[in-house]
């Protein structure tokens, strides 16, 4: 079964490579509640956004809360509870992102957070993934988001309505949000992902939930 899934993911990755502009591999992410048998534990501690970037460059691994440096990101992913200082807006207010703690708190309330708790996540380049991803994250130039949006509109007819706030971009916006809402989300990135995960000034990120992958792939081939 895993070989069939691997072949399917390889085919999807090849279609993405052909039909949209990629600057690195699409990343398959899966939430786990037990230790995977044949996938190594990441050998360093870093942020979720850094792990996505690491996988986009070819590495396959899993992580638990212990390896997640950014606890805000880990909270968004359902690996732990959000800290009280994050929930009340203090963290982002102290970073100078909001004019008041009240506005910071109101914004944090709207951030995407996986409600279920999980042990960890598997990260893999899509072409190496022998599992069904919960979400596929693509870091690329805006033209990639245009092409994916066109593929969705082709059969749905609904305009794309991205949700982002310039914070918790790769954790909340394109990992948690697509899973919660079962739809594609696009984010412009955040200070953390651009600094720590080397998301370039000319790149953005796209999150595709598993229920939308086949639709996008099929439509990309149809619209040419």
Q: Where are the alpha helices (DSSP H) in 20-114?
A: 48-56, 71-76, 84-87, 90-94, 101-109
Question: What single DSSP character describes residue 166?
Answer: S
The burial of 2, by beta-carbon neighbours within 10 Å (0-12 exposed, 13-18 middle, 19 or more buried), is given as exposed
pLDDT digits 0-9 by tens, 150-196? 999 999 898 889 999 999 999 999 999 999 999 999 999 999 999 99
**Which residue range(s) make up the domain with 195?**
2-223
Residue 108 φ/ψ region, left for φ over 0, alpha for ψ in the -120 to 50 degree band, beta for the rest: alpha
Question: How far apart are alpha carbons 102 and 108 in whole angstroms?
Answer: 10
* Cα angle 112-117-118, degrees, rounded to a multiple of 5: 110
Number of domains in the chain: 1
The burial of 78, by beta-carbon neighbours within 10 Å (0-12 exposed, 13-18 middle, 19 or more buried), is given as buried
pLDDT digits 0-9 by tens, 100-152? 999 999 998 999 999 999 999 999 999 999 999 999 999 999 999 999 999 99
Q: Using an 8 Å Cβ cutoff, are 54 and 137 in contact?
A: no
Mean pLDDT of all residues in 34-51: 96
């Amino acid at each position: 079964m895993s070989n069939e899934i691997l072949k399917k993911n390889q085919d999807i990755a090849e279609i993405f490579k052909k039909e949209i502009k990629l600057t690195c591999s699409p990343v398959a992410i899966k939430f786990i509640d037990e230790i995977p048998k044949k996938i190594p534990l990441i050998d360093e501690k870093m942020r979720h956004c850094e792990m996505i970037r690491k996988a986009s460059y070819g590495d396959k691994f899993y992580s638990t809360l212990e390896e997640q440096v950014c606890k805000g990101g880990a909270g968004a992913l359902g690996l732990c509870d959000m800290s009280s200082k994050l929930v009340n807006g203090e963290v982002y207010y102290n970073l100078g992102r909001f004019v008041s703690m009240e506005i910071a708190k109101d914004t944090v309330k709207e951030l995407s957070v996986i409600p279920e708790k999980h042990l960890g996540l598997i990260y893999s380049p899509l072409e190496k993934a022998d599992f069904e991803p919960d979400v596929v994250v693509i870091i690329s130039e805006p033209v990639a988001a245009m092409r994916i949006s066109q593929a969705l509109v082709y059969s749905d007819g609904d305009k794309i309505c991205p949700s982002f706030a310039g914070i918790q971009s790769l954790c909340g916006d394109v990992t948690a949000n697509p899973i919660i809402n079962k739809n594609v989300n696009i984010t412009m990135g955040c200070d953390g992902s651009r600094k720590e995960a080397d998301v370039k000034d000319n790149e953005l990120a796209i999150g595709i939930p598993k229920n939308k992958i086949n639709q996008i792939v099929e439509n990309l081939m149809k619209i040419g």
